Structure formats: structure tokens, C-alpha cells
Amino acid sequence: GVSVPPHLAGSGPSDLGKVSGGWLGPTPPPKCLLVPESQRFDCYPERRVVVTQELCESRGCCFIQSPPLAEGKQGVPWCFYPPDFPSYALESLNQTALGMVGVLVRREKAYYPRDIEKLRLDVEFETDTRLHIKITDAANPRYEVPLDVPRVTKRAENPIYSLNFSWDPFGVLLQRKATGAVLLNTTVAPLIFADQFLQISTSLPSKFLYGLGEHRDSFLHSLDWNTLTFWARDVAPTESFNLYGAHPFYLLMEEGGNAHGVFLLNSNAMEVALQPAPGLTWRTIGGVLDFYIFLGPDPNMVIQQYQQVIGKCPHPNTAICRHLLHAHIPDAQWNDIDYMDGYRDFTLDSQKFTSLPSLVEDLHKHGQRYVMILDAGISSTSPHGSYWPFDEGLRRGLFLNTTKGQPLIGQVWPGFTAFPDFSNPDTHQWWLENLQHFYAHVPFDGVWIDMNEPSNFMDGSEDGCPPGELDSPPYTPAVLGDSLSAKTVCASAEQKASVHYNLHNLYGLMEAKATASALVRIRGKRPFLVSRSTFPSQGRYSGHWLGDNRSHQWKDMYYSIPGLLSFSLFGIPLVGADICGFSGSTSEELCTRWMQLGAFYPFSRNHNTQNEQAQDPTAFSPAARTAMKDVLLTRYSLLPFLYTLFHRAHLQGDTVARPLFFEFPRDVATWELDRQFLWGQSLLVTPVLEPGVDSVTGYIPQGTWYDFYTVRNPCLSPEPSHPCPSLPAQGSSLNSSGEMLKMSAPLEHLNLHVRGGSILPTQKPGTTTGVTRGNPLRLIVALSSHATAWGDLFWDDGESLDTFEKGNYSYVVFNVTQVGCGGEGRSGGPMATKVTIGTLSIFGVQKPPSKVLLNGQEKPFSYLDNQVWPHFRVPFAGRGSPC
Ligand SMILES: *[C@@H]1O[C@H](CO)[C@@H](O)[C@H](O)[C@H]1NC(C)=O
Ligand SMILES: *[C@@H]1O[C@H](CO)[C@@H](O)[C@H](O)[C@H]1NC(C)=O
Ligand SMILES: *[C@@H]1O[C@H](CO)[C@@H](O)[C@H](O)[C@H]1NC(C)=O
Ligand SMILES: *[C@@H]1O[C@H](CO)[C@@H](O)[C@H](O)[C@H]1NC(C)=O
Ligand SMILES: *[C@@H]1O[C@H](CO)[C@@H](O)[C@H](O)[C@H]1NC(C)=O
Ligand SMILES: *[C@@H]1O[C@H](CO)[C@@H](O)[C@H](O)[C@H]1NC(C)=O
Ligand SMILES: CC(=O)N[C@H]1CO[C@H](CO)[C@@H](O)[C@@H]1O
């Protein structure tokens, strides 16, 4: 049975003094003193109240005051759960086809209103590496996020985990069979499941925890009493605030290098409290507790398994290489809201932007693209008498309503605005029609959707928000502004699928879904879309830029790397920050360094605000301009490699920009690194992130690494010339035992290293992706210490829909062994003939070869400084040998 703590019997605000029976005064009860500080789970998380002994004891919790910390700092909670705090008990547990179903019963009320007495527990052993645990109200349906997770029909046969329950109090115990590591133990604190307060805590097997976005933080989160809040919010990225998107997913590294991930599928306002136990508490104010747990065992596999649930990104399109016009390497012109008439979506400023249609036509003639912004809010006032988007949206009833059934009016850039309800399928049709009308004038190639948290310059609406438990819930997570309606719409706003309270964090996802499908309908090609607000599964529809950061701060540039890596974990590989920063004025040094880093953002775009120092390459000195141009050309030369990484992301959920520990999970030294990252398995990027230096210290994991510039040098001339132009001296490869190295990094230089054992497909860069794509391939072979190397290439036309599904692509595997090298095309189709290998460079060859054969025929070659580059050019289709 449940043991009822004596101090709870008959407790109520009126008999506080009595029930405490000896609590008041200096000595807390022994059971409270028994709880070590790191294990104290917060019983009074309300941040706007300084908890007193009375308040704490009214909840039946232990109160031990510790010295106050600096303003805004959290520490050991003063009010925490005693070990015997009442929780649920597991009453029955029956087998089902996929797992188990159980009943949880609470016999003792907790302290939030509408405690749910009886819960249903569903456990599904979905795969050998994936477990699904759901806890919900046994009697009444509750809001659930409509994510179409592929159904599993067969119970996992040999799970690599074992699951046990504690019956009373109820708790989940999850272990990795191979190591016995306890991944979850939820008996560490009581389970609470009230209508608007759901809380579950667990111990963690280590302190190496990542994910939990969107936040501005180091990649590795601190577990030193750190609370992260999830509620989509428009604010300049700031440490410890809830930001634009919500991703309740974490990845954790276990001792020995295994990894697991946990995803809570819940869209309500939420927070996660981390503590040094190490422990974690999920606290959400609605929905259900719906967990997916991924057992890896390596971090790459965790992310792949996560994407089997939330979905993978679509096929890449060539838009992964966009750049601002005015740069010497224009690929795409973007427009912020300035192109609009009065900042109203789907309009054109008739003074300054009359020529936009012909500009776009001109861009297209030169193989360039045009991408414009759309804001979520639709102007509700029409200075010209009529404004179709609003008038028609109103007529069809497509906007968020107030509780009185009127469109909710807030304020954004155009002034008063209504907010489209993207949870309504009719809104998708109306959105498509709006885009079609605009496309008829301006044939855009992609869209970036902004202000879709949704952002509102007013709190709630022009009339505020009505009283009630949606806008003023019993518990409000630690959101910026202390209110759910801070700089957004009222939580009580009505939407087709539910109340905004449940849908807020899904707004950007639902808008992205509508926009991506409209783009496909209009253009018949792969959609190009980036969104500011995001939620799990967003990667299927859009990429993400990391918001509006500051041009004058070096730390903003650093934070873009943790941001990049976190979104890789979230299954949104198309991600990048505004290069050189958005607001504030940049400097030449910062902008040069940022261009170098930004050239390796999967989504690479320079974006500035108005009335600040220009920051495109032409705004700077010739030296800076050259450095910027060089690094952008380097990016373009790597397009085939990057494109192939995106293909693998689409196919199996691989990451593109990757933390070092994904490749070296057993090397603990890599677990904290977030000032460097990899492209795929094999290209290490070590940017300079501080002013006034000409060197950078970075970690070089164990193995052979080659300096990228020495590697590519002989191969970038238009035709291989013989003998090759002067080469840098030897020493371009290094064998690391896994160490921090100081590397030269003058302003014009970005450190890039190619991992031994890899083959990178590259191309001579052109001024646009289109021009680049027409050039023959140059294969860079970086031999391992065993003289082997491997690489692959995916190639198609870069924009048609479903090329992979239709088989209209080339996929070539390159494999170098000690006996020779070969390539194998795994599939064909008309695109296969388009791949031509122009140059091959083999790096790390210890002595000159006697001859080089191509399909049995001897070919001339050059050898210098451990590099061999045969001279030939071969159109490559299907099986055969390019070398
Ligand atoms: C488990 O089975 C028993 C006996 O058939 C039944 O009474 C109980 O309701 C079942 N519990 C659940 C959660 O289905
Ligand atoms: C969990 O249950 C399995 C059997 O399913 C058992 O082998 C294991 O020892 C149990 N673990 C714990 C911690 O009770
Ligand atoms: C789970 O946590 C409880 C409470 O802290 C503890 O007593 C128990 O030993 C833990 N179980 C395991 C298997 O770690
Ligand atoms: C909002 O109100 C309009 C009428 O003003 C109605 O047509 C529409 O269905 C309402 N939408 C929702 C989600 O209640
Ligand atoms: C295959 O791709 C090529 C290149 O874009 C295109 O011209 C052709 O129409 C495509 N064929 C099919 C069957 O889709
Ligand atoms: C490369 O070729 C060797 C020898 O044929 C083979 O053993 C190896 O599996 C191949 N590697 C890959 C990744 O295809
Ligand atoms: C500090 C700073 O520059 N903040 C700005 C960041 O960008 C937003 C726009 O989204 C501005 O409103 C902030 O003032």
C-alpha cells in the first residue's frame, strides 16, 4: 500500500502549524536531512515566489534553506520532495501485442487542481533499439500532438534494453542490457499528473547531455541547477531564455561511449530542470506524457532512430548554397519585409520595388534565385480599401479567434494583424492561393517564413487576454515575460484543431507544412523553405536560421556552432546563422572570420539589418574581400560532398554538420567540443572565434588528417597542368594521437582538415551553384594509415521531385584498397551519364607508383610530395573504374 506521510494527513492551509509537527524551527525532519543536496527535486518551482517554509509545507514537502545565490541564479531548491511523498501506484499490468498496458492510481491528491486519479500506461517495444512509453488520463481524452509516426506492428524480438517497473510508488527503470547502465529511473521523485501540471523526474547515467532546444547555450548543457524553458518566442537570442522553437529531445552520452536519446512528444509550455544528481525533471502544463526512447548505441544511430519517428528531411536542393547578391559570388537574392507595401504579405512596394519582377527575371537568366520573406501576421486594416488576404481569410473564417469568436487582433510590422490558423486545412488552400497570386507577378524560388512563433508586439491581443486558466494557468513555466501571452497571442485563442494553449509551439511547423506544399504545387520542384519557429518533424518541411543575432559580438558567432549542432540533433540539417550577424554593426575582422565559419553552415546566408554598416564582401578592404571570396569558393568546390551528405540525411537521418564525438564517441575529450565541427565523417572545421589572433587551438582526434588546402591545391586548376603548379612543402598531413593543437590562422585562413581514409568529391567552383554543377568532378583521396579510403557521391538534377524514388540519379561509391581503386554506381537513370571525373588526387602515397592504370590502360601521372594525380578525364556511369 501507499504510506501516507503523517504531515499530510488532514493538511490544509488552515492547519499548517499543526501538521508541520516539529518541522518549524531549525531542525528539519531526519527524512529530509537524508536527501543529499544534488538529489533534491524541486517541490516549489514557481519562480515568481520566494518559497517560505509555510508555502513549502502546505505541499507536504521538505524545507531547508540554503544561502541565496546571485540574482537570476538557481541553486539547490529550498523546498523539495521527501522520499515518501505520495505518487501513483501501478495497479495492474497486462501484456499486449506490442508490449504492456497498465493502470496507475493516485490515492492521495497532490497540490495542483484537477489531479487525475487514474492513468493509463502504454508500453510498446517498438524496435530492438526503440521503446515507447505513454502515460495519459485513463478516462478522458487529452490533447495529443498529431505526429504521424509510422505504426509498428510487431513487438521487438531482441531489445538491447530491459524495462522494469517499481509498482508502489510507480516508477520506470530502463537499463542498457550490454552495460547495465540505468538510463531512466523515475522513482527519484513523485509522478504528478494534474490537468495543467504534469511532472516526471529521472536520474541520468551521466552529465553529458545535449539537445533540448531552442536555447542559446553551450552544446553540452550544464546540469548545475539549470532550467530550460520551451515556449516559442520572438526575442534576440539570449542565454537562458526560451527562443523561437521547441525541441523536447535530449541525447546523452553514457560512460564508455554509448548514447541514448529521449523525446517527449508534447507541445505545451514546458520546462526541463537539470540538476547535478545527475537528474532531470520534465514539467509540462498540458497534453500527455508520451516518450520515445532511442538506444543507439552510438550517437549517429540515436539521431537516425529519432528521425524514424519524427521523419527525415526531404531531398536536398541546390539551394543549400545560397548567397547574397553584391557578393562576388551571387547565388541568390533575398528580400526581408522591405519589398512589401506597408509590410503586408503578398504585396509589392510600388515605389521602391516596382522593378522586382524584372529583377527576378534577370536573376533567373543568370542562373540565380530569388527568395522572399513572409510574416505570419496578416494586416487587418486596408488603407487601399481592400486587401484580399485579409478580406478573404475573414470571409472563410481562417484566423485565430478570441474566446468571443471574433478574429484575434494583435500588432506586427504592418500594424494591426490577424493570425492565420494553419491548423485548419482550409487555411492551407487560402495560403496557396495567396502564394499563387504573388508568384504570377514575382516568380520566387523559395520562401523564408518569419515571425511565426507567432510574434506579436502586443501581449495577447489589442484587448489583452480574458481571465481564465488557459491564459493564467495554475503553473506557468519560467517563460520570458512571465506570461504565456508575452509578445504572442492569447493562449485561449481558438483554432480549428484545439486552443492555442496546445498549438502555440506548433505554429511554425504548421505554417511550414502549408508553405512547403504550396511551393511544390506552384513550382513543381523541391521546395526551398527556412522557418524561424520550429518543432520536431520540421526537418521534413523546412530548414532554420538561428534568428536575429548581433553583428558586433564575437560570442554570437561562437553560439552559432552549438546552435548548428543542436539542430543537427533535431533532424533539421539545413541550418545556419545570419553570417556577420543581423543587428548592430559588424567589423571587418569579425565579418571575415564569420564568413569563414558561415561558409560551412549547411545553410549559408549573409543577412543584415537596415541602417547598419554594410557587410557584404564588397563593403570591405580588398584583402578581406579576397578572403571572403576564397572561402565561399571553397564551399562551392565542396558542393558535391555537401549534397551527398544531405542525400544521406534524407535517406537515413545522418547529420550533416556533426559534433566531433559522433565520430569519436569513445574519446571523452571530444564530448565537450563545440568550437569545431565536422561535415559528415571527414571534414574538420576549426574556425577562429576570437578577435586579434593569428592562430587557433583545436582538437585533432586520433588518426591521420590532411590539410585541406594542400590536398586540393594541384587539382583546382581548370585542366590538370603538368607539371603541377608549385606545391607547398611536405608536412601537410599529421598523425594525431588525439590532442589539442595550435594551428596557424591568419585572417585569410580557415583551418580545414580531411580525415585519412576518406574520399571527397569536389568540383571546380563557379560563381553560382548552377555553374559549379556543370564542372567535372575532382576526387580527393585522403589515404588512411592502411592506404585505404572510401567515399560516395549522390548526384541528380538538384531540383526535380522524387528523383531518388524514380531512380533518376547517380549514386557512386569510391573505394580505394591496397590493390587499386574502384567505383561502383548503385543506380542509374538518365542522370548517371552526367558525372564526369576530371581529376583524381591521391594523397598520402608513400613512394611513387611505377604506373597508373585506368581500366587496364596505362595513363600518365604526376607524383610529388606524397601525392599522385593521374591525368585523365572519364565520364562515369554505373559500374567501372575511374582510377
Ligand atoms: C488486465 O487484465 C485484468 C484481468 O483480465 C483486467 O481486469 C484489467 O482491467 C486489465 N488491465 C488493463 C490495464 O487492461
Ligand atoms: C529487470 O528485469 C529483468 C528481467 O526482465 C531482470 O533480468 C533484471 O535484473 C531486472 N533489473 C532490475 C534492476 O530489477
Ligand atoms: C532508483 O532510484 C531509487 C530512488 O532514488 C533508488 O532507491 C533505486 O536504487 C534506484 N534504482 C536503480 C536500479 O538505480
Ligand atoms: C472563427 O470565427 C469565424 C467567424 O468569425 C468562424 O467562421 C470560424 O470558424 C472561427 N474559427 C474557429 C477556429 O473557431
Ligand atoms: C531525369 O533527370 C533529367 C535531368 O534533370 C531530366 O531531364 C529527365 O526528364 C528526368 N527523367 C525522368 C524520367 O524523370
Ligand atoms: C572496399 O573494398 C574492399 C575490397 O574489395 C572491401 O573489403 C570493402 O568492404 C570495401 N569497402 C566499402 C566501404 O565498400
Ligand atoms: C540586442 C539586439 O540587437 N536585439 C535585436 C535583435 O533583433 C530583434 C529583431 O528580431 C530586435 O528587435 C532586437 O532589438
At 72-93, the pLDDT tens digits run 678 999 999 999 999 999 999 9
**Cβ atoms < 10 Å from Cβ of 851:** 9
Listed range (116-120, 422-426, 581-585) with the worst mean pLDDT:
581-585
Q: What residue owns the CA closest to ligand 3's atom 4?
A: 188
Confidence at residue 663, expressed as pLDDT on a 0 to 100 scale: 98
What proportion of the chain, given as a percentage, has pLDDT over 90?
Answer: 67
**Cβ atoms < 10 Å from Cβ of 335:** 18
Could you give the CA distance from residue 163 to residue 147 in angstroms, rounded to a whole number?
Answer: 25
Catalytic residue of the set 450, 588, 654, 707: 450
Among 125, 131, 161, 162, name the best residue to mutate to test ligand 2's pocket (greatest count of ligand atoms within 8 A of Cβ). Answer: 162
pLDDT for 606 beyond 90? no
Q: Is 835:876 a contact under the CB 8 Å cutoff? A: yes
Could you give the CA distance from residue 690 to residue 681 in angstroms, rounded to a whole number?
Answer: 26
Listed range (356-360, 430-434, 530-534, 753-757) with the worst mean pLDDT:
356-360
pLDDT for 733 beyond 70? yes
Confidence at residue 878, expressed as pLDDT on a 0 to 100 scale: 43
Q: What residue owns the CA closest to ligand 7's atom 9?
A: 548
pLDDT for 4 beyond 50? no
For the chain, give the mean pLDDT: 88
Residue 531 is placed in which grid cell? 522557418
Q: What is the DSSP letter of 672?
A: T
The alpha carbon of 92 and the centre of ligand 1 are apart by a number of angstroms equal to: 7
Question: Tell me, what amino acid is at 737?
Answer: S
Does ligand 3 have an atom closer than 6 angstroms to the CB of 186?
no
**Which of 811 and 879 is assigned the larger pLDDT?**
811
Q: What is the DSSP letter of 395?
A: H
Residue 733 forms beta bridges with which residues?
Answer: 706
Does ligand 7 have an atom closer than 6 angstroms to the CB of 584?
yes
Confidence at residue 15, expressed as pLDDT on a 0 to 100 scale: 32
Q: What is the DSSP letter of 524?
A: S
What are the phi and psi torsion angles at 345 (to 5°)?
-50, 145
Q: Is 115:106 a contact under the CB 8 Å cutoff? A: yes
Beta-strand relationship, 171-176 and 161-166: antiparallel
The alpha carbon of 807 and the centre of ligand 5 are apart by a number of angstroms equal to: 10
Q: Is 310:304 a contact under the CB 8 Å cutoff? A: no
Q: Is 698:678 a contact under the CB 8 Å cutoff? A: no
3-state secondary structure of 775: coil
Single out the residue of 217, 240, 242, 227 nearest to residue 275, CA to CA: 227
Non-local (6+) Cβ contacts of 129 within 8 A are 159, 160, 161, 294, 295, 296, 297, 301, 305
The alpha carbon of 139 and the centre of ligand 1 are apart by a number of angstroms equal to: 15
Among 93, 160, 161, 164, name the best residue to mutate to test ligand 2's pocket (greatest count of ligand atoms within 8 A of Cβ). Answer: 164
Confidence at residue 824, expressed as pLDDT on a 0 to 100 scale: 67
pLDDT for 157 beyond 90? yes
- CATH number (3.30.1180.10, 2.60.40.1760, 1.10.357.10, 2.40.50.180) of 89-297 reads 2.60.40.1760
pLDDT for 791 beyond 80? yes
Q: Is 562:219 a contact under the CB 8 Å cutoff? A: yes
- H/E stretch holding 815: strand 810-817
pLDDT for 98 beyond 70? yes
The alpha carbon of 401 and the centre of ligand 4 are apart by a number of angstroms equal to: 6
What average pLDDT does this structure show over 151-161?
96
What average pLDDT does this structure show over 250-276?
98
CB burial of residue 397 (10 Å; 0-12, 13-18, 19+): middle
Query: What tens digit of pLDDT does each residue of 493-541 get?
Result: 999 999 999 999 999 999 999 999 999 999 999 999 999 999 999 999 9
Closest ligand to residue 41's CA: 3
Confidence at residue 827, expressed as pLDDT on a 0 to 100 scale: 56
What proportion of the chain, given as a percentage, has pLDDT over 70?
Answer: 87
**Cβ atoms < 10 Å from Cβ of 29:** 16
Could you give the CA distance from residue 104 to residue 131 in angstroms, rounded to a whole number?
Answer: 19
Task: Return the beta strands (E) in 336-409 as ranges.
Answer: 369-375, 378-379
3-state secondary structure of 274: strand
Q: Is 463 a catalytic residue?
A: no
Q: How confident is the model at residue 327 (pLDDT cuts 50, 70, 90)?
A: very low
Residue 184 is placed in which grid cell? 531512466
Q: What is the DSSP letter of 399?
A: B
Does ligand 4 have an atom closer than 6 angstroms to the CB of 394?
no
Does ligand 4 have an atom closer than 6 angstroms to the CB of 109?
no
Q: Is 470:263 a contact under the CB 8 Å cutoff? A: no
Maximum average pLDDT range among 355-364, 429-438, 549-558: 429-438
Distance of CA 667 to the CA centre of its chain: 24
pLDDT for 23 beyond 50? no
Confidence at residue 825, expressed as pLDDT on a 0 to 100 scale: 63
What average pLDDT does this structure show over 264-276?
98
pLDDT for 716 beyond 70? no
Catalytic residue of the set 214, 271, 421, 453: 453
pLDDT for 640 beyond 50? yes
Cα–Cα distances (Å) from 105 to 121, 170, 190, 881, in that order, read: 11, 9, 13, 67
What average pLDDT does this structure show over 697-717?
78
What average pLDDT does this structure show over 821-841?
66
Q: Is 479:269 a contact under the CB 8 Å cutoff? A: yes
- Of the CA atoms within 13 Å of residue 104, those in its CB half-sphere come to 28
Confidence at residue 330, expressed as pLDDT on a 0 to 100 scale: 54
Confidence at residue 710, expressed as pLDDT on a 0 to 100 scale: 77
Could you give the CA distance from residue 585 to residue 696 in angstroms, rounded to a whole number?
Answer: 25
Confidence at residue 325, expressed as pLDDT on a 0 to 100 scale: 30
Q: How confident is the model at residue 183 (pLDDT cuts 50, 70, 90)?
A: very high
Does ligand 2 have an atom closer than 6 angstroms to the CB of 164?
yes
Could you give the CA distance from residue 655 to residue 678 in angstroms, rounded to a whole number?
Answer: 10
pLDDT for 591 beyond 80? yes
Listed range (135-144, 669-678, 742-751) with the worst mean pLDDT:
742-751
Residue 578 is placed in which grid cell? 545570419
Single out the residue of 508, 511, 528 nearest to residue 519, CA to CA: 528
Report the greatest alpha carbon distance in the chain: 97
Cα–Cα distances (Å) from 560 to 272, 323, 602, 604, in that order, read: 22, 18, 12, 12
What average pLDDT does this structure show over 256-283?
98
Maximum average pLDDT range among 124-128, 328-332, 738-742: 124-128
**Domain 669-878 homologous superfamily, CATH:** Golgi alpha-mannosidase II (2.60.40.1180)
Q: What residue owns the CA closest to ligand 6's atom 4?
A: 817
Confidence at residue 176, expressed as pLDDT on a 0 to 100 scale: 98
- The alpha carbon dihedral of 218, 223, 225, 226 has a sign of positive
Structural Rg of the chain based on CA atoms: 29
Confidence at residue 843, expressed as pLDDT on a 0 to 100 scale: 85
Question: Tell me, what amino acid is at 531?
Answer: S
Residue 638 is placed in which grid cell? 565542396
The alpha carbon of 781 and the centre of ligand 6 are apart by a number of angstroms equal to: 15
Q: Is 225:75 a contact under the CB 8 Å cutoff? A: yes
Confidence at residue 12, expressed as pLDDT on a 0 to 100 scale: 31
Does ligand 3 have an atom closer than 6 angstroms to the CB of 181?
no
Confidence at residue 7, expressed as pLDDT on a 0 to 100 scale: 32
pLDDT for 5 beyond 70? no
Reduced to 3 DSSP states, what percent helix, strand and coil does the chain have, rounded to the nearest 5? 20, 30, 50
CA angle 584, 589, 593 (to 5 degrees): 95
**Which of 790 and 610 is assigned the larger pLDDT?**
790
Listed range (69-73, 341-345, 388-392, 651-655) with the worst mean pLDDT:
69-73
The alpha carbon of 803 and the centre of ligand 5 are apart by a number of angstroms equal to: 8
pLDDT for 362 beyond 70? yes
**Which of 97 and 856 is assigned the larger pLDDT?**
97
Query: What tens digit of pLDDT does each residue of 259-269 get?
Result: 999 999 999 99
Residue 418 is placed in which grid cell? 490577424
Q: Is 519:447 a contact under the CB 8 Å cutoff? A: yes
Q: Where in the chain is the domain with CATH 2.60.40.1760?
A: 89-297
Nearest ligand 7 atom to the CA of 236 is: 6
Nearest ligand 1 atom to the CA of 101 is: 13
Residues with CB under 6 A from ligand 6: 790, 813, 815, 817
Could you give the CA distance from residue 513 to residue 532 in angstroms, rounded to a whole number?
Answer: 13
Q: Is 453 a catalytic residue?
A: yes
Residue 448 forms beta bridges with which residues?
Answer: 373, 530
What average pLDDT does this structure show over 439-453?
96
Single out the residue of 790, 239, 804, 737 nearest to residue 480, CA to CA: 239
Single out the residue of 104, 132, 135, 108 nearest to residue 118, CA to CA: 104
Residue 823 forms beta bridges with which residues?
Answer: 814, 880
Maximum average pLDDT range among 43-52, 773-782, 854-863: 43-52
Q: How confident is the model at residue 826 (pLDDT cuts 50, 70, 90)?
A: low
Question: Tell me, what amino acid is at 60?
Answer: G
pLDDT for 254 beyond 90? yes
Query: What tens digit of pLDDT does each residue of 184-201 get?
Result: 999 999 999 999 999 999
Confidence at residue 848, expressed as pLDDT on a 0 to 100 scale: 80
Confidence at residue 608, expressed as pLDDT on a 0 to 100 scale: 65
Q: Is 868:849 a contact under the CB 8 Å cutoff? A: yes
Could you give the CA distance from residue 492 to residue 495 in angstroms, rounded to a whole number?
Answer: 9
Among 801, 827, 831, name the best residue to mutate to test ligand 5's pocket (greatest count of ligand atoms within 8 A of Cβ). Answer: 831
Q: Where in the chain is the domain with CATH 2.60.40.1180?
A: 669-878
Q: How confident is the model at residue 876 (pLDDT cuts 50, 70, 90)?
A: low
pLDDT for 149 beyond 50? yes
Could you give the CA distance from residue 209 to residue 41 in angstroms, rounded to a whole number?
Answer: 18
Q: How confident is the model at residue 318 (pLDDT cuts 50, 70, 90)?
A: low
Listed range (320-324, 650-654, 867-871) with the worst mean pLDDT:
320-324
Task: Return the beta strands (E) in 764-873 as ranges.
Answer: 777-782, 789-795, 810-817, 820-827, 835-843, 852-854, 857-859, 861-864, 867-870
